[in-house]
């Protein structure tokens, strides 16, 4: 959100936009033209924000799901939701990158956009996201990392109409025991 060409950081905080408008009204008007009152294009803005941000080192995952060497100089961590189209797109790109290069490690971490299992999710955008995350962890528990990635791939391409029965069928088609999968 921009007010008079100035970005309002934390725009989602209570009254932040109202305060920015009030401050703009109270400050002397800058001598400028409407053409100068344009924010940068989104791609440039995102890149600049990324460059200015502090590096975030995610904590170690107790049950990591990673592709690529442990000592890779580049580590990419994707927090994703199996029912989110952007997650599927990013995951496909990052998996390909990690598998093609020897200097990239890709880690997938669950971040279902559903407050039923993720206290950081503000709204329930994907009703089956929790179930999908649990299913992939059950596959990993029973069959190990390779089975995790196989079911992970299936989940990324079958987000629509997901339910417990479809997940169970997919898991059994991957060779997992139906009862063990449901229990896990």
Instruction: Convert 160-181 to b/e letters by CB count within 10 Å (16 or more is b).
Output: eebeeeebbebbeebebeeeeb
Q: What is the mean pLDDT of the chain?
A: 88
Whole-structure pTM value: 0.71
CA distance 152 to 137: 9
Residues in the chain: 184
Name the nearest CA neighbour of 143 among 107, 98, 182, 176. Answer: 176
The pLDDT tens digits of the residues spanning 129-138 come to 999 999 999 9
Q: Is the pLDDT of residue 181 over 70?
A: yes
């Amino acid at each position: 959100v921009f007010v008079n060409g100035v970005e309002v950081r934390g725009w989602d905080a209570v009254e932040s936009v109202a305060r920015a408008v009030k401050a703009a009204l109270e400050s002397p008007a800058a001598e400028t033209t409407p053409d100068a009152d344009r924010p940068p294009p989104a791609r440039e803005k995102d890149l600049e924000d990324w460059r200015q941000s502090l590096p975030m080192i995610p904590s170690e995952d107790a049950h990591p799901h990673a592709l690529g060497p442990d000592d890779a100089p580049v580590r990419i961590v994707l927090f994703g939701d199996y029912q989110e189209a952007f997650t599927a797109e990013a995951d496909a790109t990052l998996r390909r990158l990690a598998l093609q290069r020897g200097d990239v490690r890709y880690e997938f971490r669950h971040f279902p956009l559903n407050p039923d299992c993720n206290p950081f999710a503000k709204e329930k955008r994907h009703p089956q996201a929790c179930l999908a995350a649990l299913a992939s962890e059950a596959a990993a528990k029973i069959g190990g990392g390779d089975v995790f990635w196989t079911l992970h791939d299936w989940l990324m391409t079958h987000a629509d109409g997901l339910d417990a029965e479809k997940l169970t069928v997919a898991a059994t088609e991957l060779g997992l025991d139906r009862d063990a999968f449901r229990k896990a």
